[in-house]
Every structure is written in C-alpha cells, then in structure tokens.
C-alpha cells in the first residue's frame, strides 16, 4: 500500500475530489524555493530552509519524511538532517501517525511568535554576557563602552519585543473573533 501524498494544494492523504481548491504546483514550488532562499539569506541552513518552507506551504502544516522527499526531490538523509536542525531550533515538531511507525513533521502553531519569544531568551543571555564583558573590559574603555552600548540595545529590543508580542496576540485574538479585517 502506497504512502499518501500530502501535496502542496491538498491535505496529506486527501483525494483530489476532497481538495478545497487546486493550486498551481509550479507556482507553489517556486514560492517554496524563494522563501527558502530568504531563510538561507537570514542564516538558516539551505536544506532546513527548503523543508520548513514546504511544511509551511502544505495545507495541513504537517508532512512525513517520504512526502517531504517526494515534494522537494531530496534524499531521506537530507530530510533527516533538515528535520534534526529544525527540531533543535524549535521550528518544527514531530508526532507519530496513529497506528503507524511513521513520524509526521509539523510547523508549530503560532510559529513566528514562538520563534521570536525564544530569540528573546537568547538576547537576554547575550545582554548579560555583554554586561559582564563591559565590566571586565572597564566601562570607560572604548571596548567596554561598545559592549555596554550593545547590551543596552539588547535590553531595549527585549522591552520593545514584549510590547510588540502582546499587541500581536491582541490582534490575532481580534481577528479570530471577526473584529478586524484580514491584512
């Protein structure tokens, strides 16, 4: 029995008749590669970027290793390495298909919120380390001043991010309740 395909424009395992609408597979593929290239420019590994973009572009937000390999035309080893990286940076999760030994990989709900929140934790650690560096170098030295200014920037950024993330949650809640238009 064959593995159900989780095509770009349909949920994994759904038939064409069940699909709410057909997508232009070539256009979706171009989008996946374009968004992956943007992620690579931001420092994400190339194959991990392609796998993440493919998951994001799937209707279910969830695909198996076989489905990812088929869609991206990559080896199981490439999928495995990409998933390992994406799991380590908390960009995807893994769940077992009921009654199967196959794992499904999925983007997290509120993916970007969670990613930014984790990044905030990194900035907090960097800020503390930079403050220690400023103290070690002497705050009145050029290097110490540079370290202290960078730590101040990270502190400022964290405070602003908290405000932005609260506003984002409010906006999403309002959108779900139908109080605002889609943007």
pLDDT digits (tens, 9 = 90+) for 71-90: 999 999 999 999 999 998 88
Model pTM score: 0.66
Euclidean distance between CA atoms 86 and 44, whole angstroms? 9
Which residue has tokens 């290793």? 65
**Averaged pLDDT in 10-residue chunks for the chain of 183 residues:** 39 40 86 95 94 92 94 96 91 84 84 70 88 94 94 92 88 83 50
Long-range CB contacts (within 8 A, 24+) of 104-110 = 104/12, 104/62, 104/63, 104/64, 105/51, 105/55, 105/62, 105/63, 105/64, 105/65, 105/68, 106/55, 106/60, 106/61, 106/62, 106/63, 107/52, 107/55, 107/56, 107/61, 107/62, 110/172
Euclidean distance between CA atoms 171 and 163, whole angstroms? 12
Is 141 strand, coil or helix? coil
pLDDT digits (tens, 9 = 90+) for 49-59: 999 999 999 98
């Amino acid at each position: 029995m064959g593995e159900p395909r989780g095509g770009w424009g349909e949920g994994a395992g759904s038939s064409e008749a069940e699909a709410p609408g057909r997508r232009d597979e070539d256009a979706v593929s171009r989008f996946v590669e374009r968004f992956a290239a943007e992620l690579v420019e931001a420092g994400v590994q190339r194959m991990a970027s392609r796998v993440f973009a493919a998951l994001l572009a799937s209707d279910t937000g969830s695909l198996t290793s076989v489905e990812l390999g088929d869609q991206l035309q990559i080896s199981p080893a490439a999928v495995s390495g990409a998933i390992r990286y994406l799991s380590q940076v908390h960009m995807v999760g893994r769940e077992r298909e009921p009654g199967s030994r196959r794992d499904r990989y999925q983007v997290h709900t509120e993916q970007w919120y969670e990613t930014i929140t984790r990044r905030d934790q990194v900035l907090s650690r960097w800020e503390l380390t930079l403050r220690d560096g400023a103290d070690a170098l002497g705050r009145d030295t050029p290097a110490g001043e540079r370290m202290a200014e960078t730590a101040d920037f990270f502190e400022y950024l964290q405070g602003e991010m908290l405000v932005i993330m609260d506003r984002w949650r409010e906006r999403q809640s309002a959108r779900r309740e139908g109080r605002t238009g889609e943007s």
